[in-house]
Amino acid sequence: QVQLVESGGGLVQSGGSLGPSCAAYGFSFSTYAMNWYRQAPGKERELVAAISSGGSSTNYADSVKGRFTISRDNAKKTAYLQMSSLKPEDTAMYYCNAIRSQTRIWGSGTQVTVSS
């Protein structure tokens, strides 16, 4: 079954760190670029970070540059988002997304809540 499963969200205080992960099943993970999106209540889903299929290229939203790091381990079929210096405005549901050509695969999300 083709799926992405996120884990590692949670509740953290402002200034803290979290490192959610995204495990892939049922498809050729190493041939897909990976993205992390987030969506806060009442807001549109936004792209937070992206990494190429081989891991050599990354991009970040301006709001998280210098605080978040996206990475992947193709042998483990897993993508990661290391988040530090978290702020209350980082509170959202975080989703991973695999993309190759016209194919897009979404996970069901993991909640990240940052308390002030």
Rounded mean pLDDT, 16-20:
98
Rounded mean pLDDT, 58-70:
98
Give residue 72's pLDDT: 98
Rounded mean pLDDT, 65-74:
98
Question: What's the first-to-final CA gap in the chain, in angstroms?
Answer: 40
Could you read off the pLDDT of 22-61 as tens digits, one per residue?
Answer: 999 999 999 999 999 999 999 999 999 999 999 999 999 9
Q: Rounded distance, CA 104 to CA 58, Å?
A: 18
Residues belonging to the chain? 116
pLDDT band for position 94 (cuts 50, 70, 90): very high
Give residue 103's pLDDT: 97
The partner residues of 7 in beta bridges, in order of sequence, read 21
Q: Rounded distance, CA 113 to CA 115, Å?
A: 6
